[in-house]
Amino acid sequence: MQPTSSPTPNSTNPEYRELSIRWHQFAAWTPLLRQHGRRGAADTPGGGHEYYRFGGDVTRWIAATHQLRYRLLPYMYSLAHQMHAHGGTLLRGLVFDFPHDVAARRNARTFLFGRSFLIAPVLEYGASSQRIELPAGASWVDFDSGETVHGGSPLIARLTLEHIPTYVRAGSIVPMCPGLQWALEKGPSAEPIELRIYCASTVAPMRAYCSTRMTAPPTRTTYAMRAAAS
């Protein structure tokens, strides 16, 4: 993604505001999300770079993106432990999991976050649709709409500022927690852990990891079943 070259101040430049949302939506699916920007610049609200200073859609959708990342902490934490204990990668290109899929080998934009999630970042200002090639040999569930799509054929995803195209591989189990303001605001013992099971003919095992040095183990669990056609 290229930063805008417009002379319009960042706080009011539509291109800068929209791409700020897209940068955060991409970064939410990376191991480390940190915001850096033009702190102290005269053309940012209040001289700062915090997203809440921009207001409107920028604040609304970046806040929603951060909440989603917090809700996915059990998945991310478990995935990080799995990588530490057994090796592997948090992020990887599609070809790692689908080496025989020609489309996966030429796809340099879409990536996997763990085994379960396929992420298709939006990189252009003003984009209203995006062509996505989901790997063959699996069914995929739209994380936001719940619609099931079979891999192997390209599709056109309609874009909104709310989120970027995100798909869950059928057969996945995704642990999630309630929304948080910071990672240890609430221990899992105080709130239920939600397990989203994306049903398929086979379900991949998922071991949720909880460090007792950080917080108490969960005492309640809720289940959300997401059916995926085989």
What is the spatial distance between Cα 197 and Cα 199, in angstroms, rounded to a whole number?
6
The dihedral sign for the CA sequence 143, 147, 150, 153 = negative
Question: Is residue 2 pLDDT above 50, yes or no?
Answer: no
Per-residue pLDDT reduced to its tens digit, 40-60:
455 555 556 677 778 888 899
What is the spatial distance between Cα 1 and Cα 21, in angstroms, rounded to a whole number?
12
Q: For residue 202, what pLDDT band results from cuts at 50, 70 and 90?
A: low
The answer to whether 80 touches 208, Cβ cutoff 8 Å, is no
* Whole-number average pLDDT of the chain: 80
Q: For residue 28, what pLDDT band results from cuts at 50, 70 and 90?
A: very high
What is the spatial distance between Cα 74 and Cα 84, in angstroms, rounded to a whole number?
15
Average pLDDT over residues 180-186: 72
**In sequence order, what DSSP letters do the residues of 53-104 get, joined into one string?**
GT-HHHHHHHHHHHHHHHHTHHHHHHHHHHHHHH---SEEEHHHH-TT-HHH
* Domain segments of the chain as ranges: 14-71, 73-230
pLDDT at residue 42, as a whole number = 54
Q: For residue 225, what pLDDT band results from cuts at 50, 70 and 90?
A: very low
Q: What is the 3-state secondary structure (H, E, C) of 8-42?
A: CCCCCCHHHHHHHHHHHHHHCCCCCCCCCCCCCCC
Average pLDDT over residues 72-83: 88
Per-residue pLDDT reduced to its tens digit, 4-18:
555 455 667 889 889
75-84, 110-119, 180-189: range with highest mean pLDDT: 110-119
185 or 82, which is more confident?
Answer: 82
Paired sense of beta strands 221-227 and 193-199, if any: parallel
Question: In Å, how far are 15, 56, 175 from 161, measured between CA atoms?
Answer: 12, 12, 25
Range scoring the smallest mean pLDDT among 41-45, 191-195, 226-230: 226-230
Average pLDDT over residues 163-182: 88
| Cα 7 to the center of its chain, rounded Å | 31
pLDDT at residue 105, as a whole number = 87
Per-residue pLDDT reduced to its tens digit, 95-151:
999 999 988 888 888 999 999 999 999 999 999 999 999 999 899 999 999 999 999
150 or 221, which is more confident?
Answer: 150
CATH class, 73-230 region: mainly beta
The answer to whether 45 touches 54, Cβ cutoff 8 Å, is yes
Which of 63, 84, 163, 75 lies closest to 113 in space, CA to CA?
A: 75
